[in-house]
Amino acid sequence: MPKSPILRVAIPSPLHRNFDYLPPPGCDATQLMPGVRLRVPFGRTKTIGVLLEMDSQSTVEGTRLKAVLEVLDEQPALPPDIMQLARWASGYYHHPLGEVLSATLPALLRLGHALQIRGTRCWLLTETGKAVETSNLTRAPRQAALLRLLQANPDGMIAEQFAEHPGDWQGAMRALIEKGWVESKESPCLTVPDRKPNESPPSLNAAQNEAVTAVCGSLRRYQAFLLDGVTGSGKTEVYLRIIEQVLAQGLQALVLVPEIGLTPQLVTRFQRRFNVPLAVLHSGLSDRERLTAWLMARDGQAPIVIGTRSAVFTPLARPGVFIIDEEHDLSLKQQEGFRYSARDVAVMRAHQAQIPIVLGSATPSLESLHNITTGRYHLLTLPERAGSALHPAIEVLDVRHQPMQDSLSQPLLSLIKRHLAGNNQVLLFLNRRGYAPTLLCHDCGWVAECRRCDARLTLHHGSRLLQCHHCGTQRPIDKHCPKCSSADLRSLGHGTERIEQALQRHFPNTPVLRIDRDSTRRKGALQALLDNVHTGESQILIGTQMLAKGHHFPDVTLVGILDADQGLFGADFRASERMAQLIIQVAGRAGRADKPGQVIIQTHHPDHPLLHLLITQGYHSFAAAALEERRETHLPPFSNLVLLRAEAGNRELPQQFLSEARAAAEIQMMAGIELLGPVPAPMEKRAGRYRAHLLLQATRRSDLHRLLDAWIPCLEKLPLARKVRWALDVDPMEMF
Ligand code: ADP
Ligand code: ZN
Ligand code: ZN
């Protein structure tokens, strides 16, 4: 009888190794394929792992191997290409393979649910139903209300959307179905059910044509393209045309966007253009919806997959092209747990799959611009706004010595007035939500601080709470100073809530809409606000960086950036790059053909060299100068960084651990690598934990990886390794 084979299994655990098991009793192990999920005993519990390979003998000696408890899949949950990608990502980011694989699986699969598509029930009006006059239904008010709702939502509605509807809507719905006015169906996908696409595409301009031709000329082989085009230059149109050709070849397209909740307009555009199922993967989905979308992508039923960061690992039956919109965006980087850059993983995946990838942005990251210089990416430029829209004019407004009213200078207020009088909309940007960032006692100087973070509490007027934006702590606003009992507590500084109030005072007859995380928390709230903007007449919009992303507001003619100074002096070496991107992105929201835009930047530092360069010469001159600075200071992309982060409940442990770690690295040390630190993180205490880090900097990436391979096993054996929480961040995007 042949010896029972060994199953090598990846298990989600912080340990950098895989685990060996015996097949479950009675199982024909030769039938098992890598990528199937297995339920296994692990320590004192059970967990779910993924089969990596079979071996004739175990690498673990001496101990008795345990048997797998259950084989969950007949067919692999994860196809070979995703297994391969996960192995690469685990190696590159030095993160345990079990956790990487687990991150690629939808939550229900991680929990052991079956690989099965179950649809979402959705209700929509029949032709007769559409013609019903709801005002004739006075004796059935509940039915009338439902009909009105469905008439307002011709694409159909799902149960969740009726949740706010009082009473027994199911009963009323049954009555409507019996009357033949409403039909219900299982929609396996998350998008609009069958509807004829109704958008006729514009004819492409020369630059767009060139871009589409270049990418489509590279189908079925790897090439990375950077699509560099100002906001409104028609990048999305280029994506749509490329996808059209990809679909015509029977292939699938994967589109990654920074945050889908912020770009409902993008999804709508795809729905209008293509009459195919669209799998949309974003954080707002239920687990069931996510699994359905994932399976439809994997099995090829959804030709187009749109998702946020983690969708980069979505299996595709026939990958044809990857598109990363806003490739510079920070949200493409996962900042905790398995820290990866979805952009960089996508580039590697395109390489493995031998297909083209398009990275689009109006403000490309310095890394990507550098990759153009080295020839790694191919540059496609859209120099002009599509149609006949003009670039907005950007001006600096020196606010030194200016009397300010709630962060608004007199010249800006006059401009707002002028633009509103012309029946236009005005957009004001301030990257600080809440009412005021500080609550101060005027008598003793006490400041409301978070007990768990090195940070102040933000005053929120709407919720009447003091909130910490770093750990989420909140408490009622103090009425008296906890230190001296004075009642003279003052709110200092400005957040969007306060500006909203001030604007309402200055312009009592103009609606002011605030768009930030607080005002859009409720499901559908953002969409409602945006609809309002698009149908409204003259209005003022005030918001945070949520306003900078994706949306286009054609009736906005004036954009005001209330405070550019925050970004000029950040501790992070990427601060100026971020500031420049934000300014250009916000500026790009305004203007169209018949209504050219004007952009005003309030600053106390009108002579700041990078700001000056950005405004007079544009983003690319800024980027060239910033890259030169990076070269001189030997920072990415001219070097490679890895951050070893550690945190613990007391201040000393993380630093001690990192000192030991440093000593361990010095033994392995090779030329071309530098160790910096350990130092406390810029915000040392956060959510009750103290944080510190050690930075590794190397000219050659391969040296760094060699060092890490030798170093990590030593780190795991350090006495303090179990007393602190530590993690590696390869290519860190934020230094705190
Ligand atoms: P971006 O993604 O670069 O911001 P979009 O693709 O959204 O640009 O294009 C901006 C606007 O211009 C959209 O309303 C789009 O329909 C329109 N547009 C795009 N390409 C063309 C074109 N070739 N001719 C006319 N209008 C166009
Ligand atoms: Zn006081
Ligand atoms: Zn806090």
Which whole number is the average pLDDT over 54-70? 82
Ligand positioned closest to the Cα atom of 272: 1
H helices, E strands: number in the chain: 21, 32
β-sheet bridge partners, residue 727: 645
Which whole number is the average pLDDT over 496-517? 94
Given the structure tokens 């994860």, which residue do they identify? 78
Task: Give the closest residue (by CA) to ligand 1 atom 12.
Answer: 386
Ligand positioned closest to the Cα atom of 227: 1
Residue 610, pLDDT score:
86
Q: How far apart are CA 728 and CA 726, in angstroms?
A: 7
Residue 119, pLDDT score:
63
Task: Give the closest residue (by CA) to ligand 1 atom 20.
Answer: 234
- In a mutational test of the pocket of ligand 1, which residue from 237, 267, 555 has the highest number of ligand atoms less than 8 Å from its CB? 237
Ligand positioned closest to the Cα atom of 490: 2
pLDDT tens digits for range 284-331: 788 888 898 999 999 999 999 999 999 999 999 999 999 999 999 999
Share of the chain above pLDDT 70, in %: 93
Task: Categorize the per-residue pLDDT at 381 as very low, low, confident or very high, splitting at 50, 70 and 90.
Answer: very high
Say if CB 731 and CB 641 are below 8 A apart.
yes
CA–centroid distance, residue 448 to ligand 2 (Å): 10
Through-space distance between the first and last CA atoms of the chain, rounded to whole angstroms: 58
β-sheet bridge partners, residue 325: 360
Residue 263, pLDDT score:
62
- What's the mean pLDDT when you consider all of the chain? 89
CA–centroid distance, residue 234 to ligand 1 (Å): 4
The yes-or-no verdict on residue 193 having pLDDT over 60 is no
Residue 532, pLDDT score:
84
pLDDT tens digits for range 98-128: 999 999 999 999 999 888 766 667 888 888 8
Q: Ligand 1: list residues with CB < 6 Å.
A: 202, 204-205, 208, 229, 231-237, 386-387
Using the atom order of ligand 1, give the atom closest to the CA of residue 382: 3
Residue 390, pLDDT score:
58
Say if CB 71 and CB 63 are below 8 A apart.
no
Most confident of 138-142, 161-165, 243-247: 243-247
Considering just the CA atoms, what is the radius of gyration of the chain in Å? 28
Which whole number is the average pLDDT over 587-591? 78
Most confident of 140-154, 171-185, 719-733: 719-733
Task: Categorize the per-residue pLDDT at 624 as very low, low, confident or very high, splitting at 50, 70 and 90.
Answer: very high
Using the atom order of ligand 1, give the atom closest to the CA of residue 362: 3
Q: Which of 499, 490, 387 is closest to 447 using CA atoms?
A: 490
CA–centroid distance, residue 494 to ligand 3 (Å): 19
Say if CB 647 and CB 691 are below 8 A apart.
yes
Using the atom order of ligand 1, give the atom closest to the CA of residue 588: 4
Using the atom order of ligand 1, give the atom closest to the CA of residue 204: 23
Q: How far apart are CA 142 and CA 145, in angstroms?
A: 5
Contacts for 164-170 with beta carbons within 8 Å, 24 or more apart?
167/142, 168/142, 169/142
Residue 1, pLDDT score:
40
CA–centroid distance, residue 521 to ligand 1 (Å): 30
Full set of structural domains in the chain with CATH = 6-110 (3.40.1440.60), 120-187 (no CATH), 206-382 (3.40.50.300), 393-436+493-629 (3.40.50.300), 640-730 (3.30.70.600)
CA–centroid distance, residue 202 to ligand 1 (Å): 8
- Enter the tokens of residue 383: 């120099």
The yes-or-no verdict on residue 420 having pLDDT over 90 is yes
Residue 550, pLDDT score:
65
Task: Categorize the per-residue pLDDT at 189 as very low, low, confident or very high, splitting at 50, 70 and 90.
Answer: very low
Nearby residues of 647 by Cβ (< 8 Å), 6 or more positions away: 654, 689, 690, 691, 692, 724, 725, 726
The burial of 423, by beta-carbon neighbours within 10 Å (0-12 exposed, 13-18 middle, 19 or more buried), is given as exposed
pLDDT tens digits for range 483-498: 999 999 999 999 999 9
